[in-house]
Amino acid sequence: MLKPIPSSFQEHFLHHIRETVMWNSRSEPQQWCFWWRFHPQNRHQTNTQVAKQIRKSLNGGFHSPNMSATLAAVIGKIQDTLADEMTADGVDLQGLRRERGWSPKTPEDRYPWQVIYDWLWTCKFPREGWSWANQLATCGVEELQMNPLNPQSRKLDLGDIPSPEGSLKAGETYYLTATLPESGYLLLLNRSQETSKDNQMTTICLSPSQAFQPNPRCQAHQPLHIPDVKALASSLRFTEVGEEYFLAILTETPLALSWVRPDGEPRDIEVDERRLQEIFKELGKQWQGKLFYKRFQVREG
């Protein structure tokens, strides 16, 4: 059976949900219907437009008049598999049981597939996004490099690059270089695990931020420095012994994050659970996110 092959972070998530819902379906049209109808790039596509995508994926082996019945079968399988989770999130399942020929009467009315789509990308994906990101991220051995900063100069010293296995010294100053294979916008999160505080975890957003990287636009294979020369901070300095985990997410367009504003408080960059879900809600509006991670051990200086 010909099935979709995921190529991005968001598509891997969608692929997992499709496998969960459609595990016992041998219908290729239903497999592709699920994929294209709930794909993050298709929120504003009509069923007729989606039917054309299905037809193309099946080399002409699908016809638009079959779209309604195929989509209804897919929605039925979603209900059978995910109804309890959707109900727990406050989704009214009556919205999935529209009579044939029903159409929205008010701006708030939604088709059954829209109810599912919105839940999938604004509830489930944001809730599970951090876990998925960690599973799918590629180790950025070359892409993410931590470099000692010359304390006598604001100029970044590119000549002293540690080995990928190198550790960091507590209290020393560093800058991070992100050299990514594609152009886009960099979301860079740093999660610290402090051994002196019962392994307490703290997550901050380095990019975009006024403090470390106000301009997250990066060009393919061109280094982007954290902190940037136009940032308010002059270096990265880790004061606690423990692990520093960096997750870099490259997006096609910049993320609209509520706390990232020109008039915002520069120190307000800690990411709690609410902000983490906001990040992945924004990521759920795109479909070509690329992921890289790297870990550093901070030791006594």
The model's confidence at residue 158, banded by pLDDT at 50, 70 and 90, is very low
Structure tokens at 222: 């061109």
Choose between 274 and 162: higher pLDDT: 274
Two tokens at 194? 């402090």
| pLDDT value at residue 154 | 46
List alpha helices for the chain, DSSP H: 9-21, 28-37, 47-57, 67-88, 112-119, 125-136, 273-283
Is beta strand 138-139 parallel, antiparallel or unpaired with respect to 290-299? parallel
Q: How confident is the model at residue 138 (pLDDT cuts 50, 70, 90)?
A: very high
Q: What percent of the chain has pLDDT over 70?
A: 92
Question: Stretch 212-241: mean pLDDT, rounded?
Answer: 95
Which value, to the nearest 10 degrees, does the dihedral of the CA atoms of residues 72, 280, 144, 11 take?
0
Mapping DSSP to helix (H, G, I), strand (E, B) and coil, where does residue 273 land? helix
34-42: long-range contacts, CB 8 A cutoff, minimum separation 24? 34/74, 35/4, 37/71, 37/74, 37/113, 37/117, 38/14, 38/113, 38/116, 38/117, 38/120, 39/11, 39/14, 39/287, 40/10, 40/14, 40/121, 40/284, 40/285, 40/286, 40/287, 41/287
- The tens digit of pLDDT for each residue in 56-75 reads 999 999 999 999 999 999 99
Q: What pLDDT, in 10s, does the model give residues 219-233? A: 999 999 999 999 999
Q: What's the topology of domain 139-148+164-299?
A: Immunoglobulin-like (2.60.40)
Domain segments of the chain as ranges: 9-99+106-135, 139-148+164-299
Residue 35 DSSP SS3? helix
Neighbours of 253 (CB within 10 A): 11
pLDDT of residue 112: 93
Judged against a pLDDT cut of 80, whether residue 196 lies above it is answered with no
pLDDT at 104: 75
Residues 6+ apart with CB under 8 A from 90: none
> What contacts 24+ positions apart, CB below 8 Å, involve 99-105?
100/68
Residue 162 has pLDDT above 70, yes or no: no
Per the model's pLDDT, the better-predicted residue between 167 and 188 turns out to be 188
Angle between helices 9-21 and 28-37 (to 10 degrees): 140
Going by C-beta distance under 8 Å and a sequence separation of 6 or more, which residues neighbour residue 160? 147, 148
**Which element (helix H / strand E) includes 243?**
strand 242-251
Amino acid at 173: T
